[in-house]
Amino acid sequence: MNATSPRTDGLVALVTGGASGIGLATASALLDAGVRVTIADTGTAAAQASADHLGASHPGKVNAVVADVSTQHGARRAVDQTIDQHGHLDLLHLNAGRPGVGVLTADTDLDAAQQSLVTNVMSTVAPFIAALPHLEHRPSAAVTVTSSLAGVIASPADPMYAASKHALIGLVRSLAPAHRSIRVNAVCPSLVDTPMLGHGLPEGHPLPVLAPQDVARVVVEQLLGDEDGEVLFIESGRSPRPVAEPRLSSLQPPPL
């Protein structure tokens, strides 16, 4: 376990989708860095079990909240319980999400397709809004959003998932210049060994699989670093690299 550094002393993080996979690995890495953590997830047993597991080596530093952060009520609940437990909030890892509905066909359930899109986007939007009043005056305020490889390339096996992850990149790149007191970044991992792995995955796919800890390291670096508006692609065996944003001189955004 790493000792608390002056940079992380007193920092508090909320990690959504924190009971498993990338979220759980991020919560663990933040605790190792000396950050106090609240993990939010929709499953009561899983959230509490993960908090208990992490708390065994970090007593008094981690708690769990059961909340659907894609809703206004759930997002506010997660943020409020973080404040109640730890006194303030500095860092957000917005990681909650769900698979899409697979290949779109004439038989696709439109309600399910809509739900997959809404859940993945609003699981970022709702907690960001709920946390905004608490983050705006914190000197180390930072947000990292989990997008995906599916947010930067075509994903014929699950177009709704790809649409939602593309949307998150646009959201991050738009939030960063609009909220200068809060650093807002994103990660786009390739395949990761999480409970969602395998959904829509072609048989015999050639891509190597990342461990959740590989992604968590990059998330923590973003949260504790200096970058703003950064979107990083992460794949096994290579250093994270920025996802290029087109620069069109005739379409520069107006100053805020």
| Catalytic residue check, 92 | no
Q: In Å, what is the CA distance from 170 to each residue of 22, 73, 121, 177, 229?
A: 21, 25, 11, 12, 10
Catalytic residue among 20, 141, 159, 161: 161
Single-letter amino acid, residue 137 = H
DSSP line for 109-167: -HHHHHHHHHHHHHHHHHHHHHHHHHHTT-TT-EEEEE--GGGTS--TT-HHHHHHHHH
Sheet-wide strand order for 142-146: 62-66, 36-41, 12-16, 91-94, 142-146, 183-189, 231-234, 241-242
Among 57, 56, 67, 62, smallest CA distance to 38 is for 62
Do 236 and 192 meet the contact criterion of CB atoms below 8 Å apart?
A: no
Distance CA 129, CA 227 (A): 21
Do 177 and 253 meet the contact criterion of CB atoms below 8 Å apart?
A: yes
Strands 231-234 and 241-242: antiparallel
Catalytic residues: 161
